[in-house]
Chains A and B, each alone.
Chain A
Amino acid sequence: MQIIQPHYHAIARTAQDYERMSMSGVVAVCEPAFWAGFDRRHPETFIDYFAQISEFEPTRAAEFGIRHFCWVAVNPKEAENVELTNEVLKQMPEFLDKPNCLGVGETGLHKSTPNEIAALEAHVEMAMKHDQLVLIHTPHLSDKAHGTKTVLEVLSGMDVNPDKIWIDHVEEETIEWVLDAGYWAGMTLYPVTKCSPRRAVDILEKYPTERLLVNSSADWGPSDPFTLQECIVEYRRRGHAVQEAVEIFHNNPCRFLGQNPKWDIKPIRITEE
C-alpha cells in the first residue's frame, strides 16, 4: 500500500529509517521546521536549517525513492525569542518559493504565552498573504486543551481559509473543536506522549475522515516512524478495506497538500482487473 508520512522530522532520523519506510510503502514525507532540542540563538542558524530541509534532505530521501517536502517556521518554543522570530520571519518568504516547500509550519503554541501567540499570528498572516498552507502545532499533555482552544481563538480573529490550515496533534479531547471549526485535524502517533495507533483508529471510526491526517512525526526524542504503519495494520485488522485505508493514509494528505501546486502526488484508487 502506498503511504504518505505527512509530518516527519527527517533530519533527526537515520538513512535506515528512510530505507525501511520505503520498503513499507512510504512514497513521500513532509518535514516541518521544528525545535532542535535546544534554543537556537541566531537567525542564521534557522536559515541554514531551512536550507537543509529544502535543499539537502530531498536528496537523502531520493536515494530511497521517497519524495521529500518541507515547511518553514519558527517553532513555538523558540518563538519566545521575539527578536530572533522577527528576523527569521523576514527571511522566510525566499524559502516559501523553494520547489519542495509546502507552506508555513510548524507554527503554533507550546505554553500559550503572549509572545507565542504574536508569533502564531505573524506566521498565519504571512501564510495567508503568500497563499500558503499552514501547519499548526498544538501543545503536549496537560497544556493541550488550553493551547488548542487558544489556537482556535487566535484563528477565529483572523481572515483565514480553514481549508488551508491543518491543526496537528489532536486527541480525543480536542478533535471535535478542530473539526467543528472547519480545519483539517492531524493525529500524531507517539509511543508514549501523544495519540496511540489504536486510539487513532478509534477516532477514525468515530469521526468523519474527510479532514483527518495521521502521522508519526518522528524526531530526535522517543518516537517511531512506524507508528503510522502500526495504525494502518490496526485499521485493516478491524476489517476496513484497503481503499478505505488508502483514502486516509495516502489520499487525504494528497487532498490537503495538493492545494499547493508543488505537491504533484495524486489520490489513487485501487481497482480489480
Chain B
Amino acid sequence: MLSPKQTLDTYFLEARRDLLEVAALLDRYDESVSREGHNAKDESKLESLREAMQLLAKPDHTKSNRAEQLLTHFAKIN
C-alpha cells in the first residue's frame, strides 16, 4: 500500500493530464459553439461533466467513494 505522499507523487502527473483533457474538451466545445453559432440542442452531457467536477471539488468525502459517486452520477446520462 502506498503512503499519502507516495500516492500523490505516483499519480499527480496522470491526474494532471486527465484534467487537461477535460479542460481541452470544454474549450473544444466552446470553440465549436462559437464557430457554428449555436449550442448543442441537448447539453445534458456537458452539464453532467460540470456537476461531476463540482462533486469532486467538495472538500469532504468521508467515505472515500468519489469514483462510486461519479459512476452513479454518470449512469443518469444515456
**Which of chain B's residues has its CB closest to A191's CB?**
B17
Interface hits, A205-220 → B, CB 8 Å:
205-206
A192 in contact with B17 (CB, 8 Å): yes
Query: Digit string of B1-34 for contact with A (CB within 8 Å is 1, else 0)?
Result: 0000000000001100100110010011001000
Known: A205-B31, A206-B31. A199 touches B13 (CB 8 A): no
The interface residues of chain B, by DSSP majority, are classed as helix
Residues of B within 8 A of A206 (CB): 31
Residues of A within 8 A of B28 (CB): 202
Known: A205-B31, A206-B31. A199 touches B20 (CB 8 A): yes
Query: Digit string of A137-163 for contact with B (CB within 8 Å is 1, else 0)?
Result: 000010000000000000000000000
The interface residues of chain A, by DSSP majority, are classed as helix
B21 in contact with A192 (CB, 8 Å): no
Residues of A within 8 A of B13 (CB): 141, 192-193
A202 in contact with B14 (CB, 8 Å): no
Q: How far is the CA of A202 from the CA of B21 in the complex (A)?
A: 11
B27 in contact with A198 (CB, 8 Å): no
Shortest beta-carbon distance from B54 to chain A in Å: 24
Residues of A within 8 A of B31 (CB): 202, 205-206
**Which of chain B's residues has its CB closest to A206's CB?**
B31
**Which of chain B's residues has its CB closest to A200's CB?**
B24
Residues of B within 8 A of A205 (CB): 31
Known: A205-B31, A206-B31. A199 touches B14 (CB 8 A): no
Does A196 belong to the interface (CB within 8 Å)?
A: yes
Interface hits, A172-201 → B, CB 8 Å:
191-193, 196, 198-199
A198 in contact with B14 (CB, 8 Å): no
Residues of A within 8 A of B20 (CB): 196, 199
Shortest beta-carbon distance from B8 to chain A in Å: 15
Q: How far is the CA of A202 from the CA of B14 in the complex (A)?
A: 20
Shortest beta-carbon distance from A104 to chain B in Å: 30
Q: Can you list 13 residue pairs at the A/B interface with Cβ under 8 Å?
A: A141-B13, A192-B13, A192-B17, A193-B13, A193-B17, A196-B17, A196-B21, A198-B24, A199-B20, A199-B21, A202-B24, A202-B31, A205-B31
Residues of A within 8 A of B (CB): 141, 191-193, 196, 198-199, 202, 205-206
Report the 10 A-B pairs with minimum CB-CB distance, sorted nearest first: A199-B24, A192-B17, A192-B13, A202-B24, A202-B28, A192-B14, A193-B13, A198-B24, A196-B21, A202-B27
